[in-house]
């Protein structure tokens, strides 16, 4: 079995396993106590904090160990906003942030705060000018991920941090996906990360708050971890997290070169091997091991199951794999195809042979899914010069399949009106038009669902 979902959770690094087992014997006591066992535990905790702080690029007393990366984000956003409440109640986020950031923003807005969402381009990157324009006199905090978790696009964090510093606004960076590859550049103010993303154990998050940043802990304040994290430290997991972060960093430069070569091979060959595919994400500024593509006329969940049967564990941002049948907020913000979306994220050490086998298996898997899905005969009617395709009640990817089947039935310049009540159609029909060089005219309300208008150009 080939595990290609490291962006969700990386396999436990051998160093993490060794450190975890060793610290279970040595680090079980309370590090706040003064007796021998407590002092031994404290030495382990202090050493772990120093190692992690060195990797982050902050002082040890600026770093807090949290119970998860999500908890670190929630605590970081809430604490920074509360600390600057006299400045204002305005928060800036990007449209492709991790859900932990977006959920914090939703909660802030529900409590009466203001939120500005900065858009991204088709590659998934923000423009520095977008943050510059979003900053206001009452801006309390800005958030920007270092790299995207679904498509691998790296963000211009250093440049945005300079903009924020010039405006006197702290920037919180979610570095969950990138910290294992290197420190985050630029004058950021707060940083969060999650150990299981770089091969550490789950249940350990990092929150770094620079000295001088106004920060007010929300909720009860405890004596541990500078009052920012409640409860007894999971010392064995913390030691393993810090040890593995140091280990992966030592290997990062060489491994990044190798993984980039493998993902570049996937990016180049998938469109050659499989028809009707869109590779998404920035082609240059991206994480070493992540490549994402979407396949037209494919049910994403079925494709993932087919690849699993062939021995490959991958993930997807397709609406077809979601119980809500709504596309990933990342793909939606980028305006790219969501059908049959596949994210391949290679863990360190992935053999080149596994990638070759994936490329050999993928065309057959996609063909099998397309055959299994079947193509229904579209229900069409003519309204003067417009062909109407009734896809009501049919889910991703059926509306686009039916559109593709009838585009040749109308003359160049004529319009097709696709009726759909699937939210994914709002993203996938415009994306299909761009891939097929047809004109997406827009959408309009219909008696049931929404009508999407497409004009045939060729």
* C-alpha–C-alpha distance, residues 295 and 293, integer Å: 7
Per the document, the length of the chain is: 458
Neighbours of 376 (CB within 10 A): 12
* Residue 227, pLDDT score: 67
DSSP annotation of 154: B
Record the tokens describing residue 50, joined without a space.
Answer: 């120093």
* C-alpha–C-alpha distance, residues 286 and 343, integer Å: 13
Neighbours of 48 (CB within 10 A): 28
Block residue for tokens 């030495």 = 43
Alpha carbon distances (Å) from 432 to 334, 397, 444: 14, 11, 18
- Catalytic positions are 320
* Average pLDDT per consecutive 10 residues, the chain (458 residues; last block may be shorter): 94 96 90 90 95 97 96 97 96 97 97 97 97 98 97 98 98 98 97 98 97 88 72 91 97 96 97 93 96 91 93 80 68 90 96 97 94 64 76 86 87 91 88 90 90 92
- Cβ–Cβ under 8 Å, residues 407 and 416: yes
* C-alpha–C-alpha distance, residues 296 and 405, integer Å: 13
* C-alpha–C-alpha distance, residues 354 and 265, integer Å: 12
Phi, psi (deg, nearest 5) at residue 422: -100, 125
* Residue 371, pLDDT score: 86
Q: Is the dihedral of CA 116, 117, 121, 123 positive or negative?
A: positive
* C-alpha–C-alpha distance, residues 113 and 82, integer Å: 11
* Residue 320, pLDDT score: 52
Across the chain, which distance is largest between two alpha carbons, in Å? Answer: 88
Record the tokens describing residue 71, joined without a space.
Answer: 């908890």
- Cβ–Cβ under 8 Å, residues 194 and 238: no
DSSP string, 328-362: -HHHHHHT---TTEEEEEPPTT--HHHHHHHHHHH
Collapsed DSSP state (helix, strand, coil) of residue 48: helix
Record the tokens describing residue 92, joined without a space.
Answer: 């800036």
């Amino acid at each position: 079995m080939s595990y290609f979902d490291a962006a969700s959770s990386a396999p436990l690094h051998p160093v993490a396993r060794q450190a975890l087992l060793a610290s279970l014997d040595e680090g079980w006591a309370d590090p706040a106590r003064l007796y021998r066992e407590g002092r031994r535990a404290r030495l382990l905790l202090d050493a772990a904090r120093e190692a992690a702080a060195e990797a982050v690029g902050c002082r040890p007393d600026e770093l807090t160990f949290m119970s998860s990366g999500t908890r670190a984000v929630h605590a970081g956003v809430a604490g920074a906003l509360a600390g600057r409440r006299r400045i204002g109640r305005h928060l800036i986020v990007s449209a492709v942030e991790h859900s932990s950031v977006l959920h914090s923003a939703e909660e802030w807005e529900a409590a009466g705060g203001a939120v500005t969402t900065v858009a991204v381009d088709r590659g998934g990157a923000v423009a520095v000018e977008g943050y510059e324009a979003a900053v206001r006199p009452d801006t309390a905090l800005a958030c920007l991920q270092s790299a995207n978790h679904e498509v691998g696009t790296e963000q211009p964090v250093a440049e945005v941090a300079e903009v924020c510093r010039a405006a006197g606004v702290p920037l919180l960076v979610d570095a969950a996906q990138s910290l294992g590859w290197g420190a985050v550049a630029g004058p950021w103010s707060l940083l969060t990360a999650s150990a299981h993303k770089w091969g550490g154990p789950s249940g350990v998050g990092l929150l770094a708050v620079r000295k001088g940043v106004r920060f007010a802990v929300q909720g009860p304040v405890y004596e541990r971890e500078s009052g920012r994290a409640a409860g007894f430290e999971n010392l064995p997991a913390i030691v393993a997290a810090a040890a593995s972060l140091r280990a992966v960093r030592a290997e990062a430069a060489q491994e990044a070169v190798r993984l980039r070569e493998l993902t570049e091979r996937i990016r180049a060959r998938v469109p050659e091997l499989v028809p009707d595919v869109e590779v998404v994400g920035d082609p240059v500024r991206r994480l070493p091991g992540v490549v994402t593509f979407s396949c037209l006329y494919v049910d994403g969940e079925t494709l993932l199951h087919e690849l699993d049967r062939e021995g490959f564990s991958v993930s997807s941002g397709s609406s077809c794999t979601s119980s809500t049948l709504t596309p990933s907020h990342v793909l939606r913000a980028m305006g790219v195809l969501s059908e049959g979306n596949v994210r391949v994220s290679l863990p360190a050490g992935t053999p080149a042979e596994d990638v070759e086998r994936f490329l050999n298996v993928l065309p057959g898997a996609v063909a099998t899914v397309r055959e299994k899905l079947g193509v229904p005969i579209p229900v069409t009617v003519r309204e003067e010069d417009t062909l109407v395709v009734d896809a009501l009640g049919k889910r991703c990817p059926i509306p686009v399949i039916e559109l593709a089947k009838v585009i040749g039935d109308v003359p160049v310049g004529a319009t097709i009106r696709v009726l759909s009540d699937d939210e994914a159609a709002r993203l996938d029909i415009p994306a299909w038009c761009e891939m097929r060089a047809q004109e997406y005219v827009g959408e309009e309300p219909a008696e049931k669902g929404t009508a999407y208008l497409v004009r045939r150009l060729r």
